[in-house]
Chains A and B, each alone.
Chain A
């Protein structure tokens, strides 16, 4: 007996299409209704009951034998070994089911029309193919699970060669019998399927007892007995079908060519079957891996008993499908009885099992009864949502909408497993059941809606609403009942429907995968697993969106929704890294400005971390407003503000591109391309002024381009948004003014040129429009310059020196580069770590792809120059600046400039590629290829902008590595400063500790950028000297924060504290422990705090 038989829900669904209809049974679309009996009979329930009884009978016999097998196993082996075997067999069944490749379904469909002489070779070929696939899966998946993914709990069955080979053989055999069981249904040799199953089950029991009596004690013995049963049952089939040999002609034993053309036919039903079965087969594996083998023994026992409850409603739904003969109306008619019947059976079973769970489990043993009763009570509750799910699938099968059903069941499967895993993390096997059930309950409610909708439409006599296919009449039904009159219309292909919901759900699941990877990194999981998970999550978020946005058949509304959704989800994903605190360098700077606004109620206060930032407080003003109006904490208000900023930029790019190309579709493609820019995932999604200024700048361009000319209020919005940019970020404001200036110049140069073929009226309109543009843009250029100038003139604004410092260092580095002095290694940071080889490949591919886009940009510029379209021309010219981004990475100082430029340059690239793509002739494969290219561009650009994946994820402390340097130790020190010393003290520390002291410790941090004092020797010089004392006096320093871990490595981000620090430049060795400990022996200095990693000195005695 296979688990297929003991777990009664796990009967392969692919038998459904071939289930025989009961001859002579009436087929009626409406029941006449004269009393309950008549209604039941008229509804066809008798036919369903007949088929269901047949199925249940077979199931029952084999299930009872399965119960005997597991009872014996439970009583003869220790629970841990039973748990191992349960997990192994569940894995074997799942992989066996996958390995069957849906060939059983194909045989059901093909065998009746196959020549008798060819039947045996077709069956043998399918069985052999399934066995091979199953064996390969049985070898690879468990080995990867144990050795790569670290599922050590599965080591007893797959950790060494012989158990692994045994598992692979068993899996191959399982695949073979799954295919065979379905084939014999069609061969029609009596009750051959039942005979084979009974034989297998009986042999398993005998083998188990024999092996147990022989002294075998391990879980592998149970697995072996299981496999022996399957193996012995095969000759039975061969013997019972021997009559067919005479018909076979002399051909080979297997004929691979017989499989040709079967793939597509099998795929849809098979995938649906697998998605239905997978949860019940994977849950035992999850319990084993995440909880324990002992718990899995109990869980397995509970699942087995619950299988009896699931069997009847399941069989009824199968019977429903088989009896309907493809008539949707029949299915809907009969569901009115089968759904209440299934729910009633499940509810009754729940009522019986709740009080009797413990005694029922006693058949397995006392320990099962004690530990498994709660599990059984929980698992059996799944019967209720299963009734709805089974009926939903039956309906979709009969409607021919299996792909849609597959997408939905697969999506829910992933959520079920994720919820179960989360539950297991928190509360073991019980938590796993609760998590799984919670999702199942939601699933039950969600799937009942289409059933209700279908029933409503049936009653209303109208076909269900479907999406409209281009070129077809509105409201064309794709799922019209067979008996509803005219010939059925060809259904709308699934890819033409609006799949925004499933696509976004898939992307959300990608975010969930990213969360799991980030959590694994945070928990210190070593190896490639967290990185692989992170990249897989990114792909899962980006690729489905790219495929749908770029597919020609995608409805326009879906394209827009998915593109906007992608932007928002990528912004949301940032919360997974540091979900409750600001942790990145720039975030801490702006958090300090925000804190000062909250504390003082006023803007333009001094920010010691980056003085220039407090003169551009637009971001903090919005956050403060959101916080004040909602009462949310600062961090939540900031996260909300950033989501708003992301929404604005994607909508503005969409609108701007749509304006230039007259196509929202091109706009959606432009959004997709923009989201691939190197700074999007990290830098331009952090709490920093540019993150808001950039969207406002694009919004300003949009407002200018869409203003209503000849109206007095036409410039109100552009003027206001330009002013907002000017008080939000200096560089963005400057670039916006430059953009206005170039735009007006292009209008002056090309604006009056009239396109050939234009009518006189058009020419007059155009001249008027150009005149309006000239005036408006001139006004905006002056206004932008004026407002920006005013911000620069605010007393104390250090913008000039700030920009001069950047310009100076960049010029020096470039001059050095021209003389052959390389200041930056290409694929390494200053600590010597860099991207892995695969990441370098992605990075180079991304740069090559983006460079290739320059050719498109050149064509775009040329075309729009000829057509005299100044705005398009402006954006095309911006796209041509792309070489600045990778080129900037050649030197240390310009790397940041190049990175920051990405957010601006990709605006042009996005519009250019959006317009280009939409002018091309689009085929399905070119769309897929472009989507793949965009995904590669995205992944490569993430590495270019944010460094190696290992560094992007949370993890153990690293020296001067932005968010990776923020951990519990330095946060604890900062929080102690807030309560342990007076507020507003003057402190000095390394790059991270200094930031945290200001942002979370309410202290004033000394930095060269704000005070002009370079106090870095206090931390980095090897000995204490009079210079240190002088520095402490000059800076009026109160406290010195020393992170002793600085001595463990070189800084990842160029310096320990700030640019130009003591011993910086060409540092080749970490700061010494002596340098960090020197204040411990200086008289007059007290050490007030020590947490093992950080110490805080009171240095006021030296002032």
Chain B
């Protein structure tokens, strides 16, 4: 951390050094976004670039209280994002990863450069060796662990309760219709029947479904026919799911 006081138009070497590595960090973050690196790389890089810019701001603009600096940095950051988004909307590319990365990068570099050149560093107190805040860090870790545990528990509970029900669906494919049975839990065996005025036809037998593995069957409905497709548990006469197919439907023509 530099303690040199800038002179306005002639930033000291240490200030320039501070500026340079921050600019490199901002550029790296922007590059990571532009080339579409995964979230686990982009998130820390983007966060680090934003935080380092904020810290530079706080140090060189920081003669106010901590609360004021925090509000300026966090609130100002959100305001800047909104206004930048409006600006990007006017560009042909609109709001995309690349445009965001370039826009935010340019703003961060501008802020860094302006602060380095035009703002003197706030008079820093004599440097003192500060021990690592072990106590607060331990508490913070414990709090984060408990909150993370609560969140993970909720996610697991939510996932285990969001079980997709047994469903029967039809999707036209040319002259035929693909019938699909899906379910979030293992179910079966079922029989798939087509009921028309001509009688009942078995389309598929012993259908068993597992989570993520539906069962599909293709059927071609005779012309000018309206029929029921029924999913019936083996050994039962009562259908549990039922579709209506109508080859006369005007909707077919538009598919």
Contacts and interface: CB of A to CB of B under 8 A. Distances in A.
A577 B150 CA distance: 11
Interface in A578-637: 578-580, 597, 600-604, 617-618, 621-622, 624-626, 628-632
A976 B67 contact: no
Interface string B41-54: 01100110000000
Contacts of B85: 603, 617-618, 621-622, 624-625
Contacts of A509: 146
A767 interface: no
Given A578-B158, A717-B76, A721-B79, A632 B149 contact: no
B125 interface: no
B67 A625 contact: no
Interface stretch (A71-79, A179-187, A212-220, A965-973): A965-973
Majority secondary structure, B binding face: helix
B86 interface: yes
Give the interface size bracket for A toward B.
35 or more
A706 B68 contact: yes
Which 4 A-B pairs rank lowest in CB-CB distance, beginning with the nearest? A501-B139, A601-B94, A1100-B251, A621-B85
Nearest to A652: B71
B206 interface: no
B59 to A, nearest CB: 18
A723 B84 CA distance: 12
Contact of B71 (A560, A702, A976): A702
Given A629-B46, A1087-B243, A514 B249 contact: no
Interface in A1028-1048: 1038
Contact of B151 (A579, A604, A728): A579
B155 A579 contact: yes
Give the interface size bracket for B toward A.
35 or more
Contacts of B29: 629
Given A1089-B167, A1090-B241, 13 more contacts: A572-B147, A579-B151, A580-B159, A603-B86, A631-B43, A648-B71, A651-B74, A696-B79, A721-B76, A972-B164, A1086-B246, A1092-B165, A1100-B251
Contact of B167 (A624, A644, A976): A976
Nearest to B150: A515
Contacts of B79: 696, 699, 717, 720-721, 723-724
A1093 interface: yes
Contacts of A1080: 244
B87 to A, nearest CB: 10
B96 interface: yes
Contacts of B243: 1086-1090
A146 interface: no
Contacts of A931: none
27 contacts: A449-B134, A501-B140, A501-B142, A511-B146, A512-B146, A512-B149, A514-B150, A515-B154, A578-B158, A601-B93, A603-B89, A622-B81, A625-B81, A625-B95, A629-B100, A651-B71, A652-B71, A654-B67, A699-B75, A702-B75, A1084-B249, A1085-B249, A1086-B251, A1089-B168, A1089-B170, A1092-B165, A1098-B251
A579 B162 CA distance: 12
Contacts of B84: 625
B236 interface: no
Contacts of B75: 648, 651-652, 695-696, 699, 702-703, 721
Interface string B119-156: 00000000000000011101111110111011101111
Interface stretch (B3-11, B32-40, B193-201): B32-40
Interface string B206-244: 000000000000000000001000000000000011111
B255 to A, nearest CB: 8
A508 B143 contact: yes
Interface string B64-98: 00011011101110111111111001000111110
Interface stretch (A43-51, A346-354, A414-422, A733-741): A414-422
Contacts of A418: 146, 149
A1100 B254 contact: yes
B105 to A, nearest CB: 10
Contact of A1084 (B93, B140, B142, B250): B250
A256 interface: no
A353 B146 CA distance: 32
Nearest to A499: B139
Contacts of A692: 78
Contacts of A512: 146-147, 149-150, 153
Contact of A600 (B71, B94, B241): B94
A934 interface: no
A618 B241 contact: no
B71 A655 contact: yes
Nearest to B49: A629
A692 to B, nearest CB: 8
Contacts of A644: 74, 78
B203 to A, nearest CB: 15
Max chain A CB contacts within 10 Å: which of B33, B94, B151?
B151
A516 interface: yes
A905 B215 CA distance: 57
Interface stretch (A380-388, A517-525, A674-682): A517-525
B251 A969 contact: no
B165 A724 contact: no
Contacts of B168: 1089-1091
A1091 B165 contact: yes
A602 B154 contact: no
Nearest to A450: B135
Nearest to A629: B46
Interface of B: 29, 33, 36-39, 42-43, 46-47, 67-68, 70-72, 74-76, 78-86, 89, 93-97, 100-101, 104, 134-136, 138-143, 145-147, 149-151, 153-159, 161-171, 184, 226, 240-246, 248-252, 254
A1084 B246 contact: yes
Nearest to A656: B71
Nearest to A561: B136
Given A721-B75, A1090-B243, A602 B170 contact: no
A968 B134 contact: no
Interface string A956-985: 000000000001110110001000100000
Contact of A629 (B104, B136, B155, B240): B104
B68 A655 contact: yes
A13 B86 CA distance: 66
Contacts of A630: 39, 42-43, 46-47
A980 B169 contact: yes
Contacts of A702: 71, 75
Given A654-B67, A717-B72, A1089-B169, A415 B43 contact: no
Given A415-B146, A629-B46, A648-B71, A1091 B167 contact: yes
B161 A446 contact: no
Given A504-B139, A622-B81, A632 B39 contact: yes
A192 interface: no
A1087 B177 CA distance: 12
Contacts of A703: 75
A516 B93 CA distance: 46
A389 to B, nearest CB: 14
B241 A602 contact: no
Max chain B CB contacts within 10 Å: which of A508, A577, A1083?
A508
A628 B86 contact: no
Contacts of A1089: 167-170, 243
Contacts of B67: 560, 651, 654-655, 658, 664
B167 A1090 contact: yes
A500 interface: yes
Contact of A505 (B146, B150, B248): B146
Interface string A715-757: 0010011011001100000000000000000000000000000
Contacts of B83: 720, 723-724
A969 B182 CA distance: 12
Contacts of A1084: 246, 248-251
B244 A631 contact: no
